[in-house]
Amino acid sequence: MKAIVIRRYGSADVLHLEKVEQPKIRPDQLLIKVHASSVNPIDWKTRKGMLSILTGNKFPLILGFDVAGEVVAIGSQVTRFKEGDAIYGSTSFPGGAYAEFAAILENLAAPKPNNLSYAEAATIPLAALTALQALRDLGNIKSGQNVLVNGASGGVGIFAVQIAKALGAEVTGVCSCKNLDLVKSLNADLVIDYTHQDFTEGNVQYDIIFDAVGKRAFSNCRKVLKPNGVYVSTLPTPEVIVQGFLTMFLPGQKVKFVLEKPNSQDLVYLKKLIETGKMRTVIDRTYPLEELAPAHEYSEGERTVGKIAIALS
């Protein structure tokens, strides 16, 4: 099969299209004919060696976590899927989705939303699960609460705004001027242009501040966070880790960071949101697999609006 392979860490130049062996599945896995994947920051951070403490120096590596495609074979222990099923889900670390075929654990897959193309479905898993778990599991979001999403037009932010609304919150989205209309279209109640207004200097206090881009420190946000509010970041900076540990044992404001935990139950929940019109995806650009290098470079520029899709067919 064809796959994008890296044989060392480095720039996007290390991404090469090669012919490799098709993955062999375990009893609890599905073999997927990949129709689409997407680009997440973790993909190019892994490629650059920023996660080498986890990945080590074992090459070659096939990256890519998000996958949407068709089941072509199932392991002997698989009970929820059959050949021919259309699914979406996540590969296991460090990836494997940037290929014509991928092996995926049964408990990391779910039926593809009926109203989405494969490319649209492939942009959802990692980013939307991150948003859902940040708000629901860490933020303990409740209907009627006041929630702010910083980076509301980014890959995680677009889903965070919609999920918070679906869960009954009043949502403020923070983005640049050019993306105000987009974030409004995601049903945000208020949109702040960060180039003209600093939300941390405002008079409004929030029950949850979700920094979906890891750009605003807790120390800057705490004065606009309610006394028992929760600050959640996607970036485990030293400050977030220390403050998270300290606030764990003290009353009042809490600091947390989200590490996405892929699972089929949450993917089924997201599928329902999509099929009932409560959530949609936003695709900035779509690249073929052969052009994964420029897709990574575009993502690294950190100006992506929504998600970048990778189409294989």
Query: Is residue 265, in this structure, part of any structural domain at all?
Result: no
- Is the pLDDT at 57 greater than 90? The verdict is no
- Is the pLDDT at 48 greater than 80? The verdict is yes
The CATH number of the domain holding residue 96 is 3.90.180.10
Buried b (16+ CB within 10 A) or exposed e, 240-273: beebbeebeeeeebbbbbbebebbbebbebbbeb
What confidence category does residue 286 fall into, taking pLDDT thresholds of 50, 70 and 90?
Answer: very high
Q: Residues 126, 90: contact at Cβ < 8 Å?
A: yes
> 66, 75, 12, 62: which is closest to 301 by C-alpha?
12
- Tell me, yes or no, whether 35 and 134 share the same domain: no
- Tell me, yes or no, whether 135 and 250 share the same domain: yes
- Tell me, yes or no, whether 135 and 228 share the same domain: yes
- Tell me, yes or no, whether 6 and 111 share the same domain: yes
Average predicted confidence (pLDDT) for the chain: 96
Query: Is residue 101, in this structure, part of any structural domain at all?
Result: yes
In terms of residue numbers, what domain contains 285?
A: 2-124+281-311
Mean pLDDT of 133-139: 98
- Tell me, yes or no, whether 137 and 108 share the same domain: no
- Tell me, yes or no, whether 133 and 101 share the same domain: no
What confidence category does residue 104 fall into, taking pLDDT thresholds of 50, 70 and 90?
Answer: very high
Helices (H), 186-282: 218-221, 238-248, 264-275
- Tell me, yes or no, whether 57 and 159 share the same domain: no
Query: Is residue 266, in this structure, part of any structural domain at all?
Result: no
pLDDT of residue 313: 74
Total domains in the chain come to 2
What confidence category does residue 120 fall into, taking pLDDT thresholds of 50, 70 and 90?
Answer: very high
- Tell me, yes or no, whether 45 and 118 share the same domain: yes
Query: Is residue 207, in this structure, part of any structural domain at all?
Result: yes
Q: Residues 118, 184: contact at Cβ < 8 Å?
A: no
- Tell me, yes or no, whether 208 and 232 share the same domain: yes
Query: Is residue 44, in this structure, part of any structural domain at all?
Result: yes
Q: What percent of the chain has pLDDT above 90?
A: 94
Among the candidates 213, 242, 257, a domain finishes at 257
User: Burial of 84 by CB count in 10 Å (0-12 exposed, 13-18 middle, 19+ buried)?
Assistant: exposed
The CATH number of the domain holding residue 173 is 3.40.50.720
- Tell me, yes or no, whether 196 and 218 share the same domain: yes
Q: Residues 210, 150: contact at Cβ < 8 Å?
A: yes
> 41, 31, 36, 34: which is closest to 121 by C-alpha?
36
- Is the pLDDT at 39 greater than 90? The verdict is yes
- Tell me, yes or no, whether 235 and 149 share the same domain: yes
